[in-house]
Amino acid sequence: MAPTPPKSDWIWKDGEFVAWDECNVHLLAHAVQFGTSLFEGIRCYATPDGPAIFRLDAHMRRLVDSSTVYRMKPEWSAAQLAEAAVETVRKNGLTDCYVRPMVIRGFGAFGLDGRNSPIETYIGCWSWGTYLGAEALEKGVDACTSSWMRAHPNTNPVAAKAAGHYLNAQLMRMEATINGYAEAIALSPTGLVSEGSGQNIFLVRDGVVTTPFLDGSSLAGITRDAVLKIADDLGYEVREAMVPRESLYAADELFFTGTATEVTPIRSVDRIEVGAGRAGPVTLAIQKRFFEWVNGEIEDSRGWRTVV
């Protein structure tokens, strides 16, 4: 199991900073009882211009979109939340870190209709290394298709990043790691490839870069979006398509994308080697350009970096 990351000093709570150890919610908060918590995962990287948060505006926009779906609008706009995230990283004196904004329903309502519970907004951050281990970015990981599947689109609205949806993802991830895999690949209710337990997935075959289309069973990842643009910049043909499970086994290359996962090659699926069984050239070219973007090694022509 991954070690617990180190604490930082301060958590932003609705316009104020609260000490990490004193930032508590009530046991019977709606979020604890029913999973009524919306969140984001964002990374800040050390760059030559100082710490820079990658795609901060897109993440805060998605958080506000999630809050619209769940009737949980915070009192803060996406722009105010972005500013608060910058302040939180600065106040904690961190250079590269993971940033976790959360909009939750606190203590109040006891039934399922949580609208009598106050909406509380928090932003925490902490130092966090690679999600799938230091070697994963270079050598790739072993993945399995999960025996669990994603929910039907009109059950959990997964475009909203709500904590409750992640019980399904936890089942996948635990099953995978207990069985000796680094990650799980989720199938949609139709049996097509959806995404990883907490990341999107890409296939490469004959130089064409494909990712499953957004069918309501997967998250519209912000890294996914960045990688689609990066692959296009690099001159690859890019497709969003229906991906049957067997395409995974026949791919030349596979890789995961996500804020935590970054761009991580997949070297096998269900113990079948992908391509040559190691990170492939297209994956590595995309990964290289991704890290140039996040680490500030190329000009920020798309406005993806917010310097702290």
Ligand X SMILES: Cc1ncc(COP(=O)(O)O)c(C=O)c1O
Q: How far is the CB of 18 from ligand X (least distance, A)?
A: 25
Q: Between residues 118 and 153, which has the closer beta carbon with respect to ligand X?
A: 153
Q: How far apart are CA 81 and CA 248, in angstroms?
A: 38
Residues 158-177 that bind ligand X (CB under 6 A): 169
Buried b (16+ CB within 10 A) or exposed e, 74-100: bebebeebbebbbebbeebebebbbbb
CB closer to ligand X out of 109 and 132: 132
Binding flag, residue 222, ligand X (CB under 6 A): yes
Give kind and range of the element (H or E) at residue 238: strand 237-241
Does residue 91 carry a catalytic annotation?
A: no
Residues 243, 11: Cα–Cα separation, whole Å:
41
Residue among 198 and 275 whose Cβ is closer to ligand X: 198
Q: CB 285 → ligand X: shortest distance, Å?
A: 19
Assigned token pair, 15: 């316009």
Smallest distance from ligand X to CB 41, Å: 5
Q: How many residues bind ligand X (CB under 6 A)?
A: 15
Per CB under 6 A, 60 contacts ligand X: no
Within the chain, where are the H helices?
A: 30-34, 56-69, 78-91, 136-139, 166-178, 222-233, 245-250, 281-294
User: Pattern of binders to ligand X over 178-207, x per CB under 6 A?
Assistant: -----------------x--xxx-------
Does residue 41 bind ligand X (CB under 6 A)?
Answer: yes
Give the x/- contact pattern for ligand X in 253-282, rule: CB under 6 A.
----xxx-----------------------
Q: Can you tell me the distance from the alpha carbon of 45 to that of 296, in angstroms, rounded to the nearest whole number? A: 8
From the list 13, 73, 91, 161, the catalytic residue is: 161
Cβ contact 53:42 at 8 Å: yes
Residues annotated catalytic, as ranges: 161
Binding site for ligand X (CB under 6 A): 41, 169, 195, 198-200, 218-219, 221-224, 257-259
